[in-house]
Structure 1
Amino acid sequence: MKLTAMLRASADRAPGAEALVAGARRWTYAQLVADVDRAAGALAQLGIGQGDRVAVMTFNEPEFILAAFGAWELGAVLVPVNHKMKPPEVAYTVGHCGAALGIASPELLPTVRAGAPEIEWLGTSGAEGFAERLAVAPPFGEAHADDAAPAEILYTSGTTSAPKGCVLSHRALTQLAVLLSLNLDARRDERMLVAMPIWHSAPINVCVLPTLFMGGTVVLQREYHPVETFELIAAERITTFFGPTVAFLAPFRALAGSGREVADFDFSTMRRWLFGGAPIDAAAVERIVQTYRPGGHYQLFGMTETGPSGAVLLPHEQQVKPGSIGAAAMLGARMRVVDADGHDIRPGQTGEVWFLTDTVMDGYLDNPEATAAAFEGPWYRTGDIARMDDDGFYYIVDRLKDVIIVGGENVFSLEVEEAIATHPRVADVAVVGRPDPEWGQQLVAHITTSEGADLTVDELQDYLAPRLARYKIPRQVVMSAELPRNPSGKLLKHQLRAEAASEPADSASGG
């Protein structure tokens, strides 16, 4: 089924039910479908048609959803763009996907126009903005119906420094909506709060699409803020919330000294708390489970390449296996954990996690070599290393790919290293992740300089600020006479990771 057909099916069942909320703006399913038709009409007037890519870089605004479904109605492809990116990063993403049009929040227009001036960029609102064009556009109507066609290109870091575009079809994403609704025991009256950045695979594909599939209500918070998020849960009678670990732990710090506690907020309507997107230790899970009540707690483990689908640790399992990703894949998928020879591991052993699922990507955009390397037959190789305990539950212990996850954000170390290497005093650099109880991981830069002079963390952060998104900038610098390498010259990052895990940070963490 095509994604717009999925939306129309929910509108057929309950046209007057509330579909979308963004502040004071509200849509029933009938109204949302009507606006999607006009969004498709507005995009068609701008020359968008089947197969074209539309880059969308916004905060959590309803225009993101309208642009997405409008593009899908035309058979065009949504390319969500990280709103934290700097112009060089925007240039790469837009150039690599070949976007024909861009839509951005008004305050982000200077960044996107500096990064990709070759395409037209519309603000989500304002003079000649997308919302204004949508209001007067003729409805396009359902036309393109190929559910095998690409729906999204989601960019994720991989085994090279350049981010790769995961191509996901309508069929994969509608199947994902079905599977997640089943695994999370979703109902037709769900009210899903989307506070995490909507351009991420989890907010758009795990939160928005299953909720609209079920006929529930998507409530958008423009940007996450711990106290405001809690207040919105009560005001909008939210039933489900998703966030990385930091979204659950940050409120403790935000409320410190205010005389208020998490328990003071009204969570009486909550049915489920979803967390994932970064390594989570057992102590953090225990604190989350004991604090955020009522509602069941689900730990999700997946990756952009699989939709994301993967594994889920269910509420009753949280009590006995906190920090585990579960003993098997979620319903509708299969999981194997295999050793270097491709054999399933036994208790006490470690191996790479593989998934078999119909929600998997078609491949990496214009990168057949990386696509081939990511699969073993029909199985997707995650690059994550898990250990099996005596009861058959798995725990992530390492990553084959040099991806560092900071507050749910994927950071590829080579990309950061290449930016640091342009500093005139840097002779050699290696970036690794340091475990962080709140953010999952933080970045540590091991640096040698050509002049023998130290490079402070403040100097490095100032240098990288216009070059990298903030979450990609290291929070700690370790000066070294030389970096550990093997005889062939390859960096021995496992040594640096071990050092980072055993030593406290020299500077405060942040996201």
Structure 2
Amino acid sequence: MNIISLFDDHVRQQPDKPFLRYAGRTYTYAQVDDLSRRAATVLIQHGVGTGDRFALMCLNTPGFMIAMLGAWRIGAAVVPINHKLQAPEVDYILSHARVKLALFDGALAPVVERLTHSVHRLGTESELPGHPSFDALLEHAAAFDGPPPADESIAEVLYTSGTTGRPKGCLHSHRSACHAGETAVRAASMEQNERTLIAMPLWHSSPLNNWMLGTLYVGGTIVLLREYHPEAFLRTVQDERVTLYFGAPVSYLLPLQMGLNVADFDLGSVRAWIYGGGPIGAETARRLMNAYRSERFYQMFGMTETGPAGTVLYPEEQIAKAGSIGRVTTPGAEMKIIGKDGREAKAGEVGEIWLRCSSLMQRYLDAPDATAEAIVDGWYRSGDLVRVDEDGYLFVVDRSKDMIVTGGENVYSKEVEDVLIEHPAVRDVAVVGRPHPEWGETVVAFIVPNPDATVDRDAINAWLAPRLAKYKIPREYLVRESLPRTPTGKLTKASLRACEAWDPL
């Protein structure tokens, strides 16, 4: 099973069916087929071949999707890059992945201009000063005609942060990516008439593999929104008669916080409202069900390494087991909860989620030790610690890798700490997540200042702005004389998370 063979099957069976809707324009399966073959030629002309890596740092656009399909056609792997990252973060990924060519959205020119990596660049959607336009090159390119890639060839290098503070590249084959799509199809009972709204960034593993590839798997239609905005989200659902939407919990809450009357929009076409990035409480679940006039809410929990694949909390469980990530694994996955003693955890006990699934990555790029630590006898050790209740439902209690999930975005504390410690006012620092009713968690930094230094929140944030993506920048700073550490010098973050004396700057 590979992505291109799957796509080509639908082109043959339903060439005139809409594959993509974007800004009022329709792209049929046949049209996207032609454009993707032209894109393949453009990439070949710019030195990309089988086994090479092609980076894409774009907002949600047709060019993003067409370029990905073009890369897959020639057996290249795509490296989607978070468009919120700053230049040093992007430089690291381009270098680590040994990227041959990169496509950038023209709106990101200010970041692109600060890159030091010498990768060849193309622009899309709007002008990228000094670099060729991918969209213009498509118009004159001939259609590539070649065989589909091998099922086990690498299709994606998906970056996810690790405890070292440096992102790790998860290598997914065509087969594992397709299985991630199949996982979503089976979990949400997707059908051929699906109209899936993708408003969350496509560089995220779930919008990409679960929902884009899941929709492709059934031969449905993708409705693409360049960027999420609360009113545009609701209007698009209404106007495009969307049947399925996936987003972080905050994407459902923002329209309510902005004072929009959801009842003003006809959302009756939606049969599945799906969220991920963290569980929600019973009060929030009731609020969303009332506002969206639907009880068809699902939660899906998974990891980039697994496709994603993980667990599902179904509509009938949303209130009764609010706060849980579910007990049933996504189709095609096996799960066990392993305690510190190596035994499977029982009711009331805490253990780590281990997953085995057909959508599991092959390995981390150039990180054999990290791969060996993460994958044991075919099982992926998630690092997520959960408590098992008497009915077998799982409740996340901690993340052994110190990951903070804020608004659906993953923030790793070590990465933020490594940047903050370089600030001249900072002598020591610890970053943790503080529970937040709408964003899941918010990033908080505990700082020990250098002698005679002044810790000014606005000044530090201004200093961080060109160094970290906005969502990684702490929202609160707390000054301390010292930080709790073990005798070996390791931070004891549990005591910081439990701190009752929150007195931020």
TM-score class, shorter-chain normalisation, is over 0.9
Return the alpha-carbon distance in structure 1 between the equivalents of residues 60 and 104 of structure 2. Answer: 11
- 1:143 and 2:176 matched: no
TM-score (norm 2): 0.96
Q: CA deviation at 1:466?
A: 1.1
AA in 1 matched with 2:94: V
CA contact (8 A) 2:478 2:503 kept: no
**1:344 paired residue number:** 344
* SS of alignment partner, residue 482 of structure 2: coil
AA in 1 matched with 2:437: P
| Paired residues for 1:110-509 under 5 Å | 110-126=110-126, 128-255=132-259, 260-294=260-294, 296-499=296-499, 502=500, 506=504
AA in 1 matched with 2:137: R
* SS of alignment partner, residue 268 of structure 1: coil
Q: CA deviation at 1:405?
A: 1.0
Quickly say closer, same or farther: Cα 1:301–1:233, change in 2 above 3 A.
same
Segments of 4+ moved more than 6 angstroms: none
Return the alpha-carbon distance in structure 1 between the equivalents of residues 116 and 460 of structure 2. Answer: 26
Return the alpha-carbon distance in structure 1 between the equivalents of residues 349 and 10 of structure 2. Answer: 46
Return the alpha-carbon distance in structure 2 between the equivalents of residues 395 and 120 of structure 1. Answer: 46
Q: Which has the larger displacement, 106-115 or 17-26?
A: 106-115
**1:79 paired residue number:** 79
* SS of alignment partner, residue 446 of structure 2: strand
CA contact (8 A) 2:5 2:148 kept: no
**1:90 paired residue number:** 90
Return the alpha-carbon distance in structure 2 between the equivalents of residues 427 and 152 of structure 1. Answer: 39
CA contact (8 A) 2:94 2:117 kept: no
**2:103 paired residue number:** 103
CA contact (8 A) 1:87 1:115 kept: yes
* SS of alignment partner, residue 89 of structure 2: helix
Return the alpha-carbon distance in structure 1 between the equivalents of residues 231 and 387 of structure 2. Answer: 37
- Deviation string 1:169-191 (CA, Å, 9 cap, x unpaired) is 00001112122111110010111
* SS of alignment partner, residue 490 of structure 2: coil
- Deviation string 1:333-376 (CA, Å, 9 cap, x unpaired) is 11111101221111111110111101000111000000011022
| Paired residues for 1:58-77 under 5 Å | 58-77=58-77
Return the alpha-carbon distance in structure 2 between the equivalents of residues 438 and 114 of structure 1. Answer: 34
CA contact (8 A) 2:196 2:211 kept: yes
CA contact (8 A) 1:286 1:322 kept: no
Q: CA deviation at 1:505?
A: 7.2
Q: CA deviation at 1:471?
A: 0.4
- Deviation string 1:255-302 (CA, Å, 9 cap, x unpaired) is 2xxxx4222221010010010113433332332233223361110000
- Deviation string 1:19-58 (CA, Å, 9 cap, x unpaired) is 0011033111111111111111111111110011111000
Return the alpha-carbon distance in structure 1 between the equivalents of residues 13 and 103 of structure 2. Answer: 31
Q: CA deviation at 1:456?
A: 2.4
Q: CA deviation at 1:433?
A: 0.5
Q: CA deviation at 1:452?
A: 4.2
Q: Which has the larger displacement, 290-299 or 323-332?
A: 290-299
Return the alpha-carbon distance in structure 2 between the equivalents of residues 142 and 271 of structure 1. Answer: 39
- Deviation string 1:233-269 (CA, Å, 9 cap, x unpaired) is 10101011111111111111112xxxx4222221010
- Deviation string 1:450-498 (CA, Å, 9 cap, x unpaired) is 1244412212111111111100000100000111111111111111111
* SS of alignment partner, residue 369 of structure 1: helix
Q: CA deviation at 1:225?
A: 0.4
Q: Which has the larger displacement, 162-171 or 122-131?
A: 122-131
* SS of alignment partner, residue 114 of structure 1: coil
Quickly say closer, same or farther: Cα 1:505–1:27, change in 2 above 3 A.
farther
Q: CA deviation at 1:110?
A: 3.6
Q: CA deviation at 1:109?
A: 2.9
Q: Which has the larger displacement, 121-130 or 148-157?
A: 121-130
**1:13 paired residue number:** 13
Return the alpha-carbon distance in structure 2 between the equivalents of residues 20 and 77 of structure 1. Answer: 22
5+ residue gaps, structure 2: none
Return the alpha-carbon distance in structure 1 between the equivalents of residues 23 and 324 of structure 2. Answer: 36
* SS of alignment partner, residue 498 of structure 2: helix
Return the alpha-carbon distance in structure 2 between the equivalents of residues 294 and 422 of structure 1. Answer: 49
- Deviation string 1:194-237 (CA, Å, 9 cap, x unpaired) is 11111111111111111011111111111100111101110101
Cα root mean square deviation, aligned: 1.5
Return the alpha-carbon distance in structure 1 between the equivalents of residues 428 and 279 of structure 2. Answer: 28
CA contact (8 A) 1:227 1:254 kept: no
CA contact (8 A) 1:457 1:477 kept: yes
| Paired residues for 1:44-59 under 5 Å | 44-59=44-59
Q: Which has the larger displacement, 2-11 or 281-290?
A: 281-290
* SS of alignment partner, residue 356 of structure 2: strand
CA contact (8 A) 1:267 1:294 kept: no
- Deviation string 1:394-417 (CA, Å, 9 cap, x unpaired) is 111111101111111111111111
What percentage of residue pairs aligned between the two structures are identical? 44
Return the alpha-carbon distance in structure 1 between the equivalents of residues 302 and 329 of structure 2. Answer: 10
Return the alpha-carbon distance in structure 2 between the equivalents of residues 92 and 452 of structure 1. Answer: 34
5+ residue gaps, structure 1: none
Q: CA deviation at 1:144?
A: 4.0
CA contact (8 A) 1:166 1:304 kept: yes
Return the alpha-carbon distance in structure 1 between the equivalents of residues 264 and 44 of structure 2. Answer: 49
